[in-house]
């Protein structure tokens, strides 16, 4: 297994974890059966549960320190401790990029009403921000006014469009379906490619069962279409992927073996 850091050309990716738990596979993916899960090596534990990590990806590129997604900040959450242990200084973070605005991706934006990353600009895909901050929609998602809209009020938020270059080596790619404006990051450096997946996939099983949608996909048909397109491309290009919900450290490749696509962690 790779350590917590891995290189894509000159870019460094750092695997960070806020929390991890297990959950029921069939309840999470309602179109699946336990029998199907049992035929995929390495995805179930001894109790037939799947692991579900809430991860953040640190990126060092072009002199900037970027973190992608900010976890859940439940009691006992460890993101800040994990950052410290891996030499990622909270105060040195230049940019916080949010793939989407589900509560398990924005939880450490603010701490006690102050930005957790005091020297950072926060970046949110414009389409995603507009969707979640619609007054009617927002009523059902109280975390938005705790963790998201304060960023705009403090004037530390930038809304960006598809294909925005965060650095010369890191740019945004809209991958909608999981949420309306869900966005991944494309890394390209020194002839190598990397990809921060966000929630295009929730579990490594989707390398093969690419049609399966977790209950968290807000537009399952669109999510399925996006997932096929993205994973096909990542497989074809041999891209190194950082997947925040996959088991720690969440780095790996989509590869083909014996006619089946699978996730091969590194
Ligand atoms: Zn998520």
**pLDDT tens digit string along 76-111?**
999 999 999 999 999 999 999 999 999 999 999 999
Series of mean pLDDT values for 10-residue runs along the chain (266 residues): 84 98 97 96 95 97 98 95 96 98 98 97 98 96 97 98 98 98 98 98 98 98 98 98 97 95 96
Distance 62 CA to ligand 1 centre (A): 27
- Give the distance (Å) from ligand 1 centre to CA of residue 109: 15
Q: How far is the CA of 4 from the centre of ligand 1 (A)?
A: 20
3-class secondary structure per residue, the chain? CCCCEEEECCEEEEEEEEEEEEECHHHHCCCCCHHHHHCCCCCCCCCCCEEEEEEEEEEEECCEEEEECCCCCCCCCCHHHHHHHCCCCHHHCCEEECCCCCCCCCCCCEECCEECCCCCEEEEEHHHHHHHCCHHHHCCCCHHHHHCHHHHHCCCEEEECCCCECCCCEEEEECCCCCCCCEEEEEEECCEEEEECCCCCCCHHHHCCCCCCCCCCCCHHHHHHHHHHHHHHHHHHCCEEECCCCCCCCEEEEEEECCEEEEEEC
- Domain that residue 144 falls in: 5-265
How many separate domains does the chain show?
1
162-192 pLDDT tens trace? 999 999 999 999 999 999 999 999 999 999 9
What is the Å distance from ligand 1's center to 105 Cα?
6
Instruction: Give me the CATH number covering residue 73.
Output: 3.60.15.10
Residue 216 alpha carbon to ligand 1 centre in Å: 8
pTM: 0.97
Which residues surround the ion ligand 1 when the cut-off is CB under 5 Å? 104, 199
Q: Output the CA 190–ligand 1 centroid distance in Å.
A: 30
């Amino acid at each position: 297994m790779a350590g917590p850091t891995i290189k894509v050309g000159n870019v460094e990716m750092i695997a960070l974890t806020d929390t991890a738990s297990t959950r029921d596979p069939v309840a999470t993916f309602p179109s699946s059966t336990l029998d199907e899960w049992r035929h995929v090596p390495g995805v179930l534990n001894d109790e037939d549960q799947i692991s579900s990590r809430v991860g953040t990806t640190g990126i060092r590129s072009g002199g900037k320190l970027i973190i992608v997604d900010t976890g859940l900040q439940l009691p006992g959450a460890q993101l800040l401790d994990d950052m410290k242990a891996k030499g990622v200084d909270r105060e040195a973070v230049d940019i916080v990029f949010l793939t989407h605005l589900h509560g398990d991706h924005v939880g450490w934006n603010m701490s006690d009403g102050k930005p957790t990353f005091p020297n950072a600009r926060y970046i949110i895909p414009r389409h995603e921000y507009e969707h979640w901050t619609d007054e009617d929609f927002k009523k059902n998602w109280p975390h938005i006014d705790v963790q998201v809209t304060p960023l705009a009020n403090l004037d530390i938020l930038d809304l960006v469009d598809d294909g925005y270059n965060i650095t010369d080596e890191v740019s945004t790619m809209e991958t909608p379906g999981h949420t309306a404006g869900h966005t991944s990051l494309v890394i390209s450096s020194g002839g190598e490619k990397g990809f921060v997946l966000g929630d295009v996939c929730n579990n490594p099983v989707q390398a093969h069962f690419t049609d399966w949608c977790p209950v968290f996909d807000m537009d399952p048909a669109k999510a399925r279409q996006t997932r096929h397109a993205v994973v096909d491309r990542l497989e074809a290009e041999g891209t190194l992927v950082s997947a925040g919900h996959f088991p720690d450290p969440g780095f790996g490749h989509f590869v083909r073996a014996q006619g089946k696509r699978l996730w091969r962690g590194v």
